[in-house]
Structure 1
Amino acid sequence: MSKMFGYLSEEVEVKVTADKAWQLYGTIKLGEIAAKHTLESIDVVEGDGGVGTVIKVKFKPESRISYCKEKFTMIDNDNMMREVEIIEGGHLDFGFTLYRIRIEVKDNTNDETGSSCVVKMIVEYEVKEEAADNASLATIEPFVVLMKFANEHLLSSS
């Protein structure tokens, strides 16, 4: 059975140091901001925010997706990268066999003062061929919105 693969990404500059941004983007605190602004709720099913942590995300009623469970599959504090994969519900209910979100925080090479960084969100997905029409459900948009709220939070708390 063949599958369709996809990749979406978005980068934003944040006016805080990479270390400060990572203290939010590298942790479960990012979910708390999402829950406050863009989601119905987030509950930790198991874990403490490290690799293996599973969270249940409930979307707002107007969303086509009601809920999903995400598992933290990789956290690399040295390189400031984190990955989560949907393991239940969400896009998997629409024929996706993989839906992975990667966050990367990097120093802003264009900023010699070191006072800003670049945050990159990446969505990688795989869809069964017979569900290829659902590939349009894969979107970076909610993460762009989340980055906006996260960055406002970082700036207001600096």
Structure 2
Amino acid sequence: MGATVFTQEYSSPIAAPRLFKALILDSSTLLPKLLPQFVKDVTVLQGDGGPGTIEQVNFAQEGPFKYLKHRIDEVDKENLVCKYTMIEGGPLGEKLESIGYEVKFEGSSEGGCLCKMTSKYYTVGDGQVREEDVKEGRESTIGIYKVVESYLHDNPQAYA
């Protein structure tokens, strides 16, 4: 099994605690509400939202995947960090065994935040993952962040 790591950063005008609450702590409720054309629902299969929890994201018919499953590895509410692993569905299969994610939200001097994201792709055998292979997924993630950011901007009391 090989592993390839990619990092990216996203700067947001939304305060780190609000974005963390919306994107991490309440994503199972918020994403189907804001993106019903992509996310049908999110179901907790086991756990209480903390480490060990397994969630299944079911996608709308128009999406490229039917579902994916995540295992929550760590949720640090004090330091605004979440680590989770995609364990089934989505892009996993013949070439990818799993994908580990770490997302950290850091406050910025302007009142917004910097989101630092690390993705670790674990391949089957000696497979390789190139940046162009993950470009669409990375762009999709930023698109989700922008939708949530817009919602929080338009609803200043939400997740305050």
* Length-normalised TM-score, structure 1: 0.79
Change (3 A) 1:7 1:62: farther
Shift of 1:132: 4.3
Q: Structure 1: where are the runs of 5+ without partners?
A: none
| Preserved CA contact (<8 Å) 2:22 2:30 | no
Paired position in structure 2 for 1:116: 112
Change (3 A) 1:10 1:35: farther
Q: Distance in 2 between matches of 1:8 and 1:63?
A: 24
Shift of 1:40: 2.5
Q: Distance in 1 between matches of 2:69 and 2:139?
A: 19
Cα deviations by residue, 1:97-121 (Å, 9 ceiling, x for unpaired): 221222110011xx2x5x2111233
User: In the alignment, is residue 34 of structure 1 matched against residue 31 of structure 2?
Assistant: yes
Q: CA RMSD in A?
A: 2.5
Paired position in structure 1 for 2:151: 153
Letter in 1 for 2:14: V
Shift of 1:134: 9.3
Shift of 1:48: 2.4
Letter in 2 for 1:64: P
Paired position in structure 2 for 1:50: 50
- Aligned pairs for 1:4-153 within 5 A: 5-27=3-25, 29-36=26-33, 37=35, 38-108=38-108, 111=109, 115-129=111-125, 132=128, 136=133, 139-153=137-151
| Preserved CA contact (<8 Å) 1:122 1:140 | no
Shift of 1:130: 6.1
Shift of 1:131: 5.2
Change (3 A) 1:42 1:65: same
Q: Secondary structure at the match of 2:93?
A: helix
* Length-normalised TM-score, structure 2: 0.78
| Preserved CA contact (<8 Å) 1:105 1:119 | yes
Q: How many residues align?
A: 151
| Preserved CA contact (<8 Å) 2:4 2:129 | no
Letter in 1 for 2:138: I
